[in-house]
């Protein structure tokens, strides 16, 4: 059976929660005795996964150049299909989601996945149609984030947003015509951030479903930002407020 390498606490804990049977073994820096390491050990023991304490050099050889945080896992190469309910039903903190309404460029999708991974978002959601999908180009640009952040496609995006709202997840859309600037707006911790497609922005039904529309202040001659840059601006502000 072919294997791949997974690294970092967020990615491996997510795999333990959602797809533990795919994990062959976990390698943890023997010097780590902190709460995060203890939490990982507890989850691994509960799932019956072999966890091996090793030194830092061993980890570096397994994930050269990666920010592995002291933990590396060998997992099955075939990825398990993850649904939005799979993600939301296992969260131990307020939901933090990125929604992409029709992003067509796989380079943009890959960059958005990297942003989502960097801020600790729980999933990226996109429509099945009128979107580029998780192509090999997107996976390459994501630089590993496609392995760590669930990418969930849905048939009807507006309906999915309504279902999120029924779960008390606040839906924030980004729009050049938004009445409130990002830094002046208020929102709860459980949020889904919606970014529109390149050039066209959000579709009408998507826009109408949002609880709040915010705009990113533009002080120069450019009228808008690339979708991955806009995602970074908004998600990092949301992460800052989450603490």
Among 191, 192, 193, 201, smallest CA distance to 226 is for: 201
196 is in an annotated binding site: yes
109 is in an annotated binding site: no
DSSP string across 80-145: PP--HHHHHTT-SS--EEEEEES---HHHHHHHHHHHHHHT-SEEEEESSSS--S-HHHHHHHTTH
232 is in an annotated binding site: no
Place of tokens 């029709």: 102
User: Do 43 and 17 meet the contact criterion of CB atoms below 8 Å apart?
Assistant: yes
The DSSP bridge pattern shows strands 3-7 and 50-54 to be unpaired
Q: Which residues are annotated as a binding site for S-adenosyl-L-methionine?
A: 196, 216, 225
Q: Which residues are annotated as a binding site?
A: 196, 216, 225
């Amino acid at each position: 059976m072919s294997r791949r390498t997974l690294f970092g606490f967020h990615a491996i804990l997510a795999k333990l929660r959602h797809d533990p049977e795919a994990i062959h073994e976990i390698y943890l820096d023997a010097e780590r005795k902190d709460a995060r390491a203890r939490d990982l050990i507890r989850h691994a023991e509960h799932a019956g996964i072999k966890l091996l304490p090793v030194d830092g050099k061993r980890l570096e050889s397994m994930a050269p150049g990666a920010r592995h945080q002291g933990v590396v896992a060998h997992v099955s190469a075939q990825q398990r299909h993850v649904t939005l309910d799979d993600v939301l039903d296992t969260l131990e903190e307020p939901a933090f989601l990125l929604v992409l309404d029709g992003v067509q460029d796989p380079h943009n999708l890959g960059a958005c996945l990297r942003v989502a991974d960097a801020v600790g978002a729980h999933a990226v959601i996109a429509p099945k149609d009128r979107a580029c999908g998780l192509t090999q180009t997107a996976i390459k640009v994501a630089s590993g984030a496609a392995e760590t952040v669930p990418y969930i496609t849905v048939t009807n995006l507006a309906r999915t947003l309504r279902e999120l709202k029924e779960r008390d997840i606040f839906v924030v859309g980004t729009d050049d015509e938004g009445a409130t600037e990002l830094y002046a707006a208020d929102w709860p911790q459980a949020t889904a951030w919606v970014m529109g497609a390149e050039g066209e922005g959000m579709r009408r039904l998507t826009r109408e479903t949002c609880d709040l529309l915010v705009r990113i202040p533009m002080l120069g001659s450019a009228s808008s930002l690339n979708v991955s840059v806009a995602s970074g601006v908004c998600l990092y502000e949301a992460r800052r407020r989450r603490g």
